[in-house]
Chain A
Amino acid sequence: MSVTRRCFLKFTCGAAAGTLISPLPWKLLDDAAIWTQNGSWVAQTPRGPVSSLFSTCTLCGAGCGLRLRQVGSDTVSVQGVSGHPVSQGALCPAGLGLAQILHHPARVRGAMKRDRSATAPWHPMDTTSAYAEVGRKLAELRAAGRSGEIAILDLRPGRSLSVLYRNFLATAGAGRYLTLPDGRQDAATALAELAGVPRHAPGYDFAHAGAVISFGAPVFDGWCGAGPAPGLIPATGGTRPVVVQASSNASPTTNLADVWLPLRPGTETALALGLAHLLRTEWTLPFTEEPWPGYNDQVSQHTPRRVADITGLSPALLQTTARSLSGRGPVLAVGGGAPGAGPLGQAEELAIWALNLTLGNLGQAGGVVFRPDLPWSEAAPVPGGTTSLREVPDGSLDLLLVDGSLPDSPVSQALLRRKMRPQSGLIVGLSAFTVGPVAEADLILPAAGPGEWLQDVTAQALAPRTSYALARADAGLPAFAAHPAAILERLARTADFPTPASCGPDRHEEVVTDRLQSLLSQGTGHLVSPDGTTRTPVNRVASLRTFRKALLAGDCWIAPPAPARPVDGLHLTGGARPLFETVAAAAPGRLVSESADPSACPVTLMFDGQVGIAGGGALPPVVNKLRRESNFLPAVDAARVNPDFARQNGWHAGQPLTLTTKRGAWPVTLVLDETVQPGVVLLPAGPGPTGLGDPDDLRTHIIDICSGTDDPVWRVGPAALRKV
């Protein structure tokens, strides 16, 4: 018998059939799939003792409590802390992925430079050369008496590092210290402008309010990190205030609110004025009535009928809502915008504060309380002054150092670039990531990321209680990154500034220690354990060392409750009339549908975003995975419109369309959503699912799509949709 080709083929077929009905190919496939997740290219955490510890998140200013699970010295998972005095257990998607963010593809692992264009690729640069280039420019500006063209944009003022930024600018000469107020800071500023008297920082006393009228603020799902407003949800057995949510879009907060007022986009001013009108005509609540010039005229004109015409809400709904609030105790009107959907704007905030003034709740329990200040000042004033970035004249800066500690800060990159001298202006990022405001930089110096250096966290604007916490440096400083203060000191030395040590890491440590000593010396407030179960009066803390140790272990210092006493002498100043002219101008609404292109359909563009990822922040892989696999969040190009509106325009779900604004055109995919109002397009604010893997994708800044102008209200803007 000879082996023929036919025999060989039959043997092979038999062997193949035998193999296929054995586990071999299927187990190999399974193991190969696992192997791809465990290869040498995948970071592995060393085995070691598992421990849990507490810290504070520094990805934004909320100061949420963290429970870190560590294997050896490596953090492998992050959770919120139930009962935490500030965050009450909530944590946003970015915070949950904190351990992963440090390994994000957008992480800066060395000095980088690129041509003067936000779309140009980054090139690695020798660190010494990078410091030399920035130092040379600093020295030239100082020598030429142009130190006023040096500025630092501090994205989170009030930290100990902020003191060092000021010191750096002082030693430079007349540098400018710039801030970028967010919606809540805008709200606090609006009150100061309205009342015209120096006050302590205002805070909303949700815990004692009988009713809350929120103008789009995410009071249930994004007030403090991703959590509810402090005190809004009482402990077991308590009753929460009635919540009326005035919002153009559906959201978790609108779902949880007692009443949802789906007003037209940009008509919050009219609603606030209309509620003030109803307060005077329908409510039985006690209220303050003062002859405020301008404001009273506006209130008188905003009858329910007129407000209904502007907002799209029926007069009956307005009246029913107003009556339902009567007799429930203090009523609190809440502004501040939403981190993911944008700030409200000055006119809206003024109208909301005026409503609170009318309600007479300033200084009252359940209203607006005034928090005691922290026992330190913001250090020496900066010679060049402290101002908001928006107020800086265009083309007036030649060197801008951008603090990168807030990677999801919603700043318009176009606005940033416009402040620079057209040819010579240099934007330098001191950052751990290439995202957020730093995405517009020309040069980046690698800074330590969250958890890699000791930071302090103070209470956010509008928080009801003053607080202070420390975020421990657990991750250790990587070799390629530097403490932000070390970057400042090295730049100061390179530029031959006097007293460079005044902005170095040692000075930072001294400032933190001084602050702790101040809190200890003041002797008020409590140290509250991370889970909120233990409260130790500060005057019983034995020593500075014990105090520091407790804060490093995750405790928070919480100030005593703000005293509830009526605010005497709070009145509208001479500047009120022009301010109310602003309100009057905004009262008809910010409806902005317009299109010069007859083939395009004019729409109103709005955003909804989740705190932590709005503004182009670095998205941690765990969130990206959830987003991709669960449709938990829509893709970045998903333009949601009302189904009836789509039908009228001949559009269908999944259709590719082009969204145009004055900033340009963007391809979007149509998604039908019955909760979106007709004529409105809702875009998610934040990077898309593919943004994680390719840092270049993160450059598209969602806020620039909408605005890019001087108008800081990127909450709502004009746009047009047309077929591709």
Chain B
Amino acid sequence: MEAILLVILLGPLVASAIVLLGQNQLSRKVVHSLAIAAVFVSFCLSIYVLYLSIWGGLGVHEEIVYTWGVGGPFTFSIGFLIDRLSALMMCIVTFVSFAVHVYTIGYMDDDSGYKRFFGYIALFTFSMLLLVMANNFMQLFMGWEMVGLVSYLLIGFWYQRDSATFASLKAFVVNRVGDFGFIVGIAGVLFFAGTLNYLDVFAQAPAIANQGLWVTAHQYVSAPTLISILLFVGAMGKSAQIPLHTWLPGSMEGPTPISALIHAATMVTAGIFMVARCSPLFSLSPTAMSFVLIVGATGAFFMGLIGIVQTDIKQVVAYSTISQLGYMTAALGAGAFAGGIFHLMTHATFKALLFLGAGSVIIAMHHEQDMRKMGGLARYMPITYITFLIGGLALSAFPGFAGFFSKDAIIDAVGMSATPGATYAYWCVLLGALVTTIYTFRMIFLTFHGKPRMDEHTKSHLKESPWVVTFPLILLAIPSAVLGGIAVKWLAFGDFFGSSIVNRAGDAPLSLMSEEFHGAWQMFVHGFSTWPFFLFVIGFVLCWVFYIWKPHWPAILQSKLRPAWFALDHKLFWDDLEVGVVMEGSRRLGSALWRWVDDGLIDAVAVNGTARAIGLGSRVIRHIQSGYLYHYAFVMVIGLAVMVGWLIWR
């Protein structure tokens, strides 16, 4: 078993190392064959591991590979924890990664960084696997940071663009803000549990619940609350939750394949995975759960709203991703951990599909991403159109498609949740369904329907993308359509994850709902008579009216609702706040400290001041030693006079 796991993990690393070190020697063909072969092997073996863990009686399999370090009484190891949760994640990661690898051959064909790109995405696959296969918090953090590194490298892939280098810097720093909380959370785990090993920590969770510490003189915080919230701060960074979400739209500066792989399907879901993995801890703290729920639900609604006004096709999908991550987070907060993972899985397929579809459009449009200059593409790109439509239907949760099963489960679960704040959250995720439909079909109508708005030159070159691009689209379209219906029975309502996901808060909403669940078909039929579906219809009709029937209406509406549009167009001012206040503020602070304290107070006054004072003093003393006899005599006389005077009058 260990050999299999090592091959899964290290295969992509070795491929990446060979590709990056041998860029100049290897041909393009060797490079992409090597990278694709490695990730394909990882994928097949991951499927095998999943098979073993479902039918092969693998159970919860832990393995220590080596002892990383021993600090004091604490032993830190590198190892694997393979259960259904991690096996499922491994399959998702390697599957999407494989599709994206193939797609890259077509997408990056005319890019001079072709080989470097393959090296990076193979490295990413390694890092992400390191994260999901970990058996302890330290290794989780290692993978966590490594995916951040690769994300940084890939966002800034076109390093000559200032916007790309700025976006990559911002992504890394914002993620680091999250990691700052995350590492303190890990420190908390070590403090309360005495170990970082998952199984040992979770076994002790009930005992930890009785502990806590005084954060301030008056504020006592229980250990699960403290740890969970700190860990979740890490998840907020990586999974782009409010207010640490601003890096994700910026990350669209990177090539589209990595937007699909990293910034939609896998890396950004690491936070969701982490919370589900730590469910035994999170579920002990109603405060933390409530925090998670409210943050998630708020993002699900408001970030979707921003998506409605975007004109760049990738930006729409990016805001959609933040919104969908909000759904997953809300599911976690509601106690429906399995529902969150279920949506993670379906989202991975349909969102990767949408990004890759958008990429296919972008190639056809000669790297034009503005939807206002598209339109009517369905005729020219049938495969892209149909697969994109499937992705769109899955995203907007049309009954039967993958997203429907996972998202409806989440909406219901939030509605039934006992977590404080659930009512607010319910309205957010419910209305979010309307918002999702609007931005999705606005995007589809603007891009694929209506009159073509591009210039003649572009129009004359429009054609369907090559098979290396369309094949991954089809590959991803299949699960986007059917995966939800197949998996809902086990993932959402069955006991698929067993002891891996534990809700200690008592009756979880999903288990309550499972009593009313009578199979995927029933859920599908019932889906046509629920609020989310009515909202879908409303949203669809609105889009049809505004973008097909009366295409001049959006401009009129925009002028009528200027303040609202202005707020949404400025992304609800969060970016401005972050760049203008936080970044600029810390720059000013640093600058002031440097100029006033380091250069001013310490160096100019204390150090050089002392030197100057000594210099000045010696100059004065030097005047006394003039060498003239009468000066000395004069001083002696004065001295004598003073001494005599003192003797007389003392």
Do A and B interact?
no
